[in-house]
Chains A and B, each alone.
Chain A
Amino acid sequence: EAGVAQSPRYKIIEKRQSVAFWCNPISGHATLYWYQQILGQGPKLLIQFQNNGVVDDSQLPKDRFSAERLKGVDSTLKIQPAKLEDSAVYLCASSPRRDRGIIQYFGAGTRLSVL
Chain B
Amino acid sequence: EDQVTQSPEALRLQEGESSSLNCSYTVSGLRGLFWYRQDPGKGPEFLFTLYSAGEEKEKERLKATLTKKESFLHITAPKPEDSATYLCAVQASGNTGKLIFGQGTTLQVKP
Contact = CB atoms under 8 A, between A and B. Distances in A.
Q: Is the interface of B mostly helix, strand, loop or mixed?
A: strand
Interface residues of A, number: 28
Contact of B97 (A43, A48, A105, A109): A48
Contact of A42 (B32, B91, B104): B104
Interface string B78-111: 0000000001010100011111111110000000
Contact of A105 (B31, B46, B91): B46
Given A100-B91, A101-B91, A43 B32 contact: no
A108 interface: yes
Contacts of A99: 97
Interface residues of B, number: 27
9 contacts: A4-B43, A42-B4, A48-B97, A91-B44, A97-B97, A98-B95, A101-B51, A103-B34, A108-B42
B45 interface: yes
Given A40-B103, A100-B32, A100-B91, A108 B41 contact: yes
Interface of B: 4, 6, 31-32, 34, 36, 41-46, 49, 51, 87, 89, 91, 95-104
B100 to A, nearest CB: 8
Q: Is the interface of A mostly helix, strand, loop or mixed?
A: loop
B96 A98 contact: yes
A108 B70 CA distance: 28
Contacts of B45: 106
Given A45-B98, A56-B96, A98-B96, A91 B31 contact: no
Given A42-B87, A103-B49, A108-B43, A48 B96 contact: yes
